[in-house]
Amino acid sequence: MTFEGGEYIIFYVSAGYFIMLDPALIQRIRAIFLHHESRVTIAEGAGMLGWSRAEMDAAIRDGEIEVVETCSGKRIELRELAAYAVQQWPLTAIEEALGREAALVLPEALRTRKLTVRLPRYQIGALEVLAGDGRESVEAMLTRMLEELAELNQERLARVIPGLAEAMAWPEAERSLENRHAASSESLPSVTFRRPDPFAPSHPPTRRSG
């Protein structure tokens, strides 16, 4: 949220808007959402989130990350990593990092755009204070509040907003993986995950309930 000419602008990324992202964060996002397999090893999952193996083991032990048993050993569903990533990184960052492949990964109704509003100064101040109290950005707080509002009115809104149910269920109820496979048909560059960085907590954060 930025101040321009007496107006605060809430930025939801549009095709022509550019966000500066940490290169390591871009690599992590692309590694998760453009991965060509539906499951990864525990070590691979740790690397994708930028964690050490000890941090991943702690997250699994605490129930933050779920694993599945396969004939090849324990694995993590890619959708599990995607769901966790959405809790940790703003949708705008995910969309920007995916670039042109965002159209293949994100449901259409989840794609973002810019919205400009004018608010009384006390409301702007309230947003900034409350967001600061929650140690989140104003955009993140507003997104969360609007998600909760949409959930409360989902049945009625779904009748008039195309794709709403799919957007709200993503990524847990993700579309077929064929789109992601197509997006990752070109080999991804070798990714080296580095720590620490501003986006990687010193320990796995608690997943937001709901």
Assess if residue 190 is contained within a domain. no
Residue 209 predicted with pLDDT over 60? no
CA distance 115 to 81: 29
Assess if residue 205 is contained within a domain. no
Range of the domain at 57: 2-183
Assess if residue 191 is contained within a domain. no
Instruction: Read off the pLDDT band of 185 (50, 70, 90).
Output: very low
Beta bridge partner(s), residue 4: 7
Place of tokens 């933050």: 64
Q: What's the average model confidence in pLDDT over 106-116?
A: 92
At how many degrees (to 10) do helices 91-98 and 23-33 cross?
Answer: 80
DSSP state of 114: -
Beta bridge partner(s), residue 68: 75
Confirm if 19 and 57 have CB atoms less than 8 A apart: no
Closest CA to 106 of 25, 21, 40, 168: 168
Instruction: Read off the pLDDT band of 173 (50, 70, 90).
Output: low
Assess if residue 200 is contained within a domain. no
CA distance 168 to 141: 17
Residue 121 predicted with pLDDT over 80? yes
Assess if residue 12 is contained within a domain. yes
Q: Does pTM surpass 0.75?
A: no
Instruction: Read off the pLDDT band of 11 (50, 70, 90).
Output: very low
- Domain count along the chain: 1
Residue, of 129 and 209, whose pLDDT is higher: 129
